[in-house]
A = this chain, B = another copy of it.
Amino acid sequence: MTDVDRIISSGRILLMDADQTIIENGSIAIDGQDIAAVGGKDDIESRYTAPDIIDAKGGIVMPGLINGHTHAAMTCFRGIADDLQLMDWLNNYIFPAEAKNVNPELAYWGSLLACAEMIKSGTTTFCDMYIFEEETAKAVKQAGMRCLLGEVLFDFPSPNFKTPDEGLAYAESLLKTWAGDDLINIIVEPHALYTCSEPLLLSAKALADRYNAPLGIHLLENQAEKLQLEGKFGKSAVSFLQDIGLLTDKFIAFHCVCMDDDEISLFADHGCKVIHNPESNMKLSSGVAPVPEMIARGVCVGLGTDGCASNNNLDMFQEMDSAAKLHKVHRLDPTVMDAKTTLEAATREGARALGLDHLVGEIRPGKKADIIIIDIHKPHLTPMYHEYSHLVYAVDGADVDTVVINGQVVMKNRRLLTLDENQIMQKVHDISNRIKAGMENI
């Protein structure tokens, strides 16, 4: 018998491997941060012992979900303005609210709240882009979550930097500070092609290359952006990116709603990654990304919620449901974005999109133990015919019972173990009261 730290026992385990393996009555041995072994309950429990046995009987055990794109601290602006034209929403609500209110305190507490919400809905890894990301990193460490995060960069000043060079210096300090960290990974993130000059894009790319980090950017979120960029560059946005050398397999583009066939081909040729954010794209009327085409062409597509101001929650189960249904109705074809494809975008493919597939996205010995247990003993989850279908079309974030990240139990029976959710909610409530008071004074 081998001693390990904990065993998740007697669950219906979805490995989320390429073979779609499901172990009906399985157990997982977790040693430190790692999955030591997974298999049938009798096999595993005859070979491993542990002081902590987590009973998953009757539950679904699967890899934690991967939220490929969000702005965590924007929880503080959840629902501050809705049902508005994009530019009205941005220029008259979001940008002024951010300019006036975003500071390290908001970034920290907003990120903690996002971590609480994400853990409670089964997300174990997320990719973040916002301001004062050092505060987000602190929050993520406290939560015990896994993250790929970067400071948003643009030509104009942010609440955190006056010049692009200061922004790049802050981004580099993140890369240095968190090098080799178990949970925090750093990405360099110029905001978008309409907010970043070519020199800033090239400096960001050079910085990312120096640290072997990925480069992430909002890209082609809607038709207006596409037209604007074509006017600016005299060619397609993706051709421009190719010409300046940004397209690599470490290039991650968020949204990609308005990509044409040639642009998808360029992405496929260079191994670029895409994060699809269907609920935000729906709510902001951005359009429907050509995700089935991208996947058919071999582009790796992950799934994200985007920030709370345009969703308005961080629930990846609801995001999967929306993703699967949106493409079906858009193409009038119920076979596209089937449950398997959708679930993979939120797990194995999501990990690959973020360059974290050596760590997470599957339940497999040697991978990190990022695992969630879903309680299906509920009226809305009865009966169950097919696990994948259930997870995409019926399960909701609130059905997640227990969450393990990097071998640590961060939620058990829906109680957060690393965070004080009442304190966090009170702090963000106070921050939102200041935001409201400021809005009345405008």
Contacts and interface: CB of A to CB of B under 8 A. Distances in A.
Contacts of A321: 318
A133 interface: no
Nearest to A334: B285
A398 B399 CA distance: 9
Interface stretch (A37-45, A184-192, A322-330, A363-371): A322-330
A108 B318 CA distance: 30
Interface string A2-36: 00000000000000000000000000000000000
Contacts of A328: 83, 282-285
The contact size tier of chain A is: 35 or more
A357 interface: no
When all copies of this chain in the complex are counted, the total is 2
A420 to B, nearest CB: 11
A358 interface: no
A309 B115 CA distance: 33
Given A326-B329, A396-B398, A380 B315 contact: yes
Interface in A267-326: 279, 281-288, 311-315, 318, 321-322, 324-326
A334 B283 contact: yes
Contacts of A121: 380
Nearest to A383: B432
Given A79-B390, A314-B380, A432-B385, A284 B398 contact: no
Given A82-B339, A89-B334, A334-B83, A379 B117 contact: yes
B335 A85 contact: yes
Contact of A79 (B85, B279, B394, B421): B394
Contacts of A83: 324, 328, 334-335, 338-339, 389
Contacts of A243: none
